[in-house]
Amino acid sequence: MGTTLAAAVITRTQSAGLDVVTLSRPSLVEYYITAYPVRGKSQFSMFESVARFIKETGATIVIQDVFGPCKFHKAALMAMETYSGEVNWPVSWMEGDGYVADSITSTQVYAISGAKVEPVFMDDRPIGGVFEDLEAKYCLLGDIRSANLSAPRFDQAYETFEKMEKVLNGVGMDFSNVLRTWLYTSRILEWYGDLNKARDKFFTERNVFNNLVPASTGIGQLNPSGSAVVADLFAVQPKSKNVKTEKIASPLQCPALDYKSSFSRAVELRLSSHTILFISGTASIEMGGATAYVGNLEKQIALTMEVVYAILKSRGMDWGDVSRAAAYFKDIKEAPLFHKYCNENNLPLLPVAVAHADICRDDLLFEVEMDAIKRS
């Protein structure tokens, strides 16, 4: 390229109800924001905290996820508009099946400054943004879903992948550029097999299995639209030979493809200044693919965290490199057990969103996903 790129600077700030990891380099600043309610304040105060941070930094929100009951969806969007103005970015809203809590548990936001975000629309609504730095073009999409709610769930899932592809083609990319997907799936335990079949059909037709199979999370959560699945996506198109992408194996688990679940355990993106590791949704599954510690949540949490840590260590990373995480519980009332594990094992405070969700197997009680960043 003929350009010398300065090293990335990674900073972490934590305040009441707001965790932010900032990745800075000359042409772009990225903000990984996790916000949650503060005791004694309205649950909507988290959106005010996010809006204040965005105004202070002059950043642009690209995508946002919210975890909480669908009954608060409209009121939350109104609160966002009050604090931030027009919500011209996608908001993926997820409610765990059989939700028992009566408040929003968390929100996560990805925002940038230093580069222009080109908004992406579908069906007259915002679904993401595209931006570039010196080394690559990036595309983040959210709240992608079928509009045909009467169609069989298999068809809705396949259409969702087709919509991803159509949007990518519209910005000069294709599915070979996709590193990470999130599939928030309504009533997942009723049709997880069909979801996998729809993904397999699409991946086979697009030759994905012979290229990079994306990291992914497939989790059981409802959405306000009533669609069978809502998807988020992250894609990268390199502009430099310095940019490398690679699937990363899990030292303590077999490949998910071995039991016909089509995602990579993790995917790594390496740029000149830093490396980003995307760890897929991970649960208490032993090396052979069977569920471990059936009925014992504490042991499932422990094994899951050991598996994730082994992936981090295999890439020269540690807990302190985590930029974003989401912890999913079959029973949200058991979330304190995750914090108990972190405390007893002396983990740093992680930027983690806690959510209620069905996991892809009925005997799995916990799942976690993580992103981590380290300077090159």
Tell me the pLDDT tens digit for each residue of 224-277. Answer: 999 999 999 999 999 999 999 999 999 999 888 887 789 999 999 999 999 999
d(CA 24, CA 21): 10
Phi-psi region of 36 (alpha: psi -120 to 50; beta: other; left: phi over 0): beta
Tell me the pLDDT tens digit for each residue of 166-178. Answer: 999 999 999 999 9
- pTM for this entry: 0.95
What pLDDT, on a 0 to 100 scale, did the predictor assign at position 102? 78
Edge to edge, the sheet with strand 274-283 lists: 244-248, 266-270, 274-283, 366-375, 322-329, 352-356
d(CA 205, CA 193): 18
The pairing of strands 178-185 and 215-222 is: parallel
What pLDDT, on a 0 to 100 scale, did the predictor assign at position 99? 56
What pLDDT, on a 0 to 100 scale, did the predictor assign at position 225? 95
d(CA 236, CA 244): 10
d(CA 17, CA 104): 13
Residue 338 parent element (H or E): helix 336-344
Task: Give the C-alpha distances (Å, rounded to integers) separating 205 from 15, 199, 201, 202, 221.
Answer: 47, 10, 6, 5, 27
Tell me the pLDDT tens digit for each residue of 58-102. Answer: 999 999 999 999 999 999 999 999 999 999 999 999 997 655 567
**Domains of the chain (ranges plus CATH)?**
9-375 (3.30.1330.40)
| 3-state secondary structure labels for all residues of 51-82 | HHHHHHHCCEEEEEEEECCHHHHHHHHHHHHH
327 token code pair: 């912890």
CA nearest to 283, candidates 373, 190, 196, 218: 218
User: What mean pLDDT, rounded, does the chain reach?
Assistant: 94
Q: What pLDDT band is residue 3 in, cutting at 50, 70 and 90?
A: very low
Tell me the pLDDT tens digit for each residue of 333-373. Answer: 899 999 999 999 999 999 999 999 999 999 999 999 999 99
120 token code pair: 């992406």
What pLDDT, on a 0 to 100 scale, did the predictor assign at position 247? 97
d(CA 219, CA 82): 31
Q: What pLDDT band is residue 26 in, cutting at 50, 70 and 90?
A: confident
Residue found under tokens 């390199």: 238
d(CA 199, CA 192): 11
What pLDDT, on a 0 to 100 scale, did the predictor assign at position 5? 56
Tell me the pLDDT tens digit for each residue of 113-152. Answer: 999 999 999 988 999 999 999 999 999 999 999 989 999 9
Task: Give the C-alpha distances (Å, rounded to integers) separating 97 from 9, 201, 322, 329, 365.
Answer: 40, 27, 28, 11, 13
Contact 137, 243 (CB under 8 A): no
